[in-house]
Structure 1
Amino acid sequence: MHHQNPNHAFYWKPFQAVVSAVLLASSAQAFASVGNPAIGPLLWSEEFNGSSLDSGAWNASDGDGCQIKLCGYGNAELQYYSPDNLAIVDVPFESGTRALAIQARRQALGGKAFSSGKVDTQGKVHVQYGMIEVRMSTPNLDTGLWPAAWMLGVSGQSWPRKGEIDIMEMGHKASSRADAGSPPSNNFVGANVITWQQSACAPGNDSCAASTAWQTRNWYVARTPLVNRFVSYRLYWNASQMRFTVVDGGVEHDLYQAPLPVNSTALQAPFYLLLNLAVGGNFTDAAVPGQVTAPLPGTLYVDYIRVYQLDGKGQVTLGRQAAR
């Protein structure tokens, strides 16, 4: 999601051959564990049913990235994250459901034109392997909103050496949706995995970040806009492979055409969870506030996150044990 590299928009193309080779290798290995998964017991869940965000599990961001020496979160984003943009609410379009509401507003805050919300479980809930399911609903993205459910490695290494797993993200540039037939941003959702790869080291990509999403079919196009209705996003993850899917109307669709091989030790380590709604930035077609056309305020709803055992594997570490 937040790729933490101001040059991220420029580093995909040289690595198409690398990614293609990886995908070909993965199609040759039909591991039943992610293709025909055996879902085991529930290891951990956040149902977002309480009166407020559980600070024992979640950290709420407060800032524009400059507070962690990463202004604009490495993507020239236009929002300031405030805990005031987070709430547990009754979902207006689904009776009986409570959810985490992350709201983006056209509000001057901290020198930014917009405010929004972001939460993470760093140091509090760490996950290693299993099936991770996030049930969520996005607002009307139009141009400028960028919702995501994602994960970062807990190791002390810098990005991308610690690894990034994007379970879902929306709000892509029009050019990123072209290969899918240029569907509207509200109908298009993708996934991504970013790791450090020696083969990705090149001028303009000093971080050596390699993305599995570059020129790869890594998306789902919904017939009905994914606005104000819930779908579930799943990551099936073991020591060998990852599979990303979306369950829409009871039907499960793969985002990638084949499972991705776990080709980095970073992807075999624990990760923490993140949820946020960014505004603008390099990932979107809104580089400046005037290019944001999304109707605001706009609310991202997350009904739950659940982590299940997958084929007997999976571990969730809580509390102080999770701090590294």
Structure 2
Amino acid sequence: MRPIRRLVAAAALAVTLTGALAAIERPQAANAAIGGITWQDEFNAPAGTPVDTSKWAFDIGGSGWGNNEQQYYTSSTSNIVQNGQGQLVITARKENPGNYQCHYGYCQYTSARIRTSGKFTQRYGRFEARIKIPKGQGIWPAFWMLGDGTAGWPTQGEIDIMENIGREPNTVHGTVHGPGYSGAEGIGGGRTIGAPLGDGFHTYSVDWSPNLIQWFLDGSEYFRITPANLGGDRWVFDHPFYMIMNVAVGGYWPGYPDASTVFPQQMLVDYVRVSAYTDGGGGGGTSALRSNFSNRCIDIPAANPVDGARLQMYDCNGTAAQQWTFNADGTLRAMGKCMDPAGAGSADGTPIQLVTCNGNPVQRFTLSAAGDLVNVSANKCVDIKDWNSANGAQLQLWTCGGGSNQKWSRV
């Protein structure tokens, strides 16, 4: 949970919409690499019940939390409690000065921050919450994750699933932080809709796969990042993370409450759910890759693994020419050779071919949770050229657009 300043090219531009999310957004297909629920909290206890401490731990204090935040976090049910209506309520309150000692004197505000560290961590998968966020200048709600381990921040990494600052009531931000891109240099994107997010419940989630993280608002993707977006900095998102939820008051990024800010402010959490990553896109296993568009499989023409063979679509037949293995080095192999963008290209229209595996990072691919077969270096999708559903249709790299001609399943 840090201020974000660096944005990733066009993908990070906020999309302004009026009313419902519009057709310009990417439609979502079957989730090829997301399995069953591994952890959840539905907050269905009777009114007045504290948070479940078998699932959550508290952060306590008023240290400023590295951002000059103004609140003191407590474990009191006046700040965090289940409401008997299937929701967790985190309340930011304005208090009489002198109640709690803070890093700059006495805290004027109290709130709550909970985390699953020591209770639950997971590497990869879907992390999702349905939330009605609070409103107001200086109010800073967040649903985010930190890397588990002893190396400390930012080396362990941070994934911000949802952040909002009160002066931007219609905008959600998603961000990553790591060594060389932390704090104000975090890399992120956002989406702006036509009404304040705090007017109702919205679903905030990330799908996290090897070498790929995707952000969603109400099931619609608005941002994605791969190692190619880090400008040579280290990717630190291949180990378990734990979740955090909080409402901060004030700080360098959101600014501070003013006369327009109404207290108390509440964040209502309907549920938090985590789903497994099924290894559908990385690390072991041999299978065919079938198009959701044509129901045909990625194929080596004539089963001849000559360097430069242009990969095609063909009726699924179970032969070695259609059996692909995702390897630990990120390569995608069949008949002893690697899927490869021709000429190490990254432009739209770059042909997809078969060549001898050579260790070049451009030969790394991952199958995302949404079924996108992504070239990690280019951060582009394997695409059936010209939406051709016939045998012999050729493959190319293309900007990921969510069409069924870019959606794949392992079979």
Find out whether 1:221 has 2:219 as its counterpart. no
The whole-number CA distance in structure 2 between the counterparts of 1:260 and 1:36 is 20
Closer, same or farther in 2 for the Cα pair 1:221/1:118, shift >3 Å? same
Equivalent of 1:283 in 239, 253, 259: 253
The whole-number CA distance in structure 2 between the counterparts of 1:284 and 1:292 is 15
In structure 2, what is the equivalent of residue 230 of structure 1? 201
In structure 2, what is the equivalent of residue 190 of structure 1? 173
- C-alpha deviations, 1:43-78, integer Å up to 9, x for none? 1111111233111111122211xxxxxx20010001
Note the aligned Cα RMSD (angstroms). Answer: 2.6
Q: Secondary structure at the match of 1:300?
A: strand
Closer, same or farther in 2 for the Cα pair 1:255/1:131, shift >3 Å? same
Bigger radius of gyration among the two: 2
Closer, same or farther in 2 for the Cα pair 1:270/1:229, shift >3 Å? same
- C-alpha deviations, 1:211-252, integer Å up to 9, x for none? 112xxxx112122222252111110001110000010xxxx3
In structure 2, what is the equivalent of residue 180 of structure 1? none
In structure 2, what is the equivalent of residue 89 of structure 1? 83
Closer, same or farther in 2 for the Cα pair 1:157/1:35, shift >3 Å? farther
Find out whether 1:126 has 2:155 as its counterpart. no
Deviation at 1:160, TM superposition (A): 0.7
Find out whether 1:101 has 2:89 as its counterpart. yes
- Asked which structure has the greater RCO (Cα within 8 Å, sep 6+), the reply is 1
Q: Secondary structure at the match of 2:83?
A: strand
Closer, same or farther in 2 for the Cα pair 1:167/1:35, shift >3 Å? farther
Closer, same or farther in 2 for the Cα pair 1:282/1:124, shift >3 Å? same
| Equivalent position amino acid for 1:253 in 2 | S
Closer, same or farther in 2 for the Cα pair 1:105/1:128, shift >3 Å? same
Deviation at 1:132, TM superposition (A): 1.1
For structure 1, the residue ranges without an aligned partner over 5 or more in a row are 24-33, 65-70, 91-96, 175-184, 201-206, 315-324
Q: Secondary structure at the match of 1:148?
A: strand
Deviation at 1:270, TM superposition (A): 0.5
The whole-number CA distance in structure 2 between the counterparts of 1:303 and 1:163 is 27
State the percentage of identical aligned residues.
31
In structure 2, what is the equivalent of residue 78 of structure 1? 70
The whole-number CA distance in structure 2 between the counterparts of 1:80 and 1:137 is 22
Q: Secondary structure at the match of 1:186?
A: coil
Closer, same or farther in 2 for the Cα pair 1:22/1:227, shift >3 Å? closer
The whole-number CA distance in structure 2 between the counterparts of 1:105 and 1:22 is 37
Task: From the two aligned structures, give the one with the greater helix fraction.
Answer: 1
The whole-number CA distance in structure 1 between the counterparts of 2:217 and 2:173 is 10
For structure 2, the residue ranges without an aligned partner over 5 or more in a row are 13-27, 101-105, 282-411
Q: Secondary structure at the match of 2:215?
A: strand
In structure 1, what is the equivalent of residue 187 of structure 2? 212
The whole-number CA distance in structure 2 between the counterparts of 1:279 and 1:223 is 25
Contact kept in structure 2, 1:190 and 1:255, CA below 8 Å: no
| Equivalent position amino acid for 1:294 in 2 | T
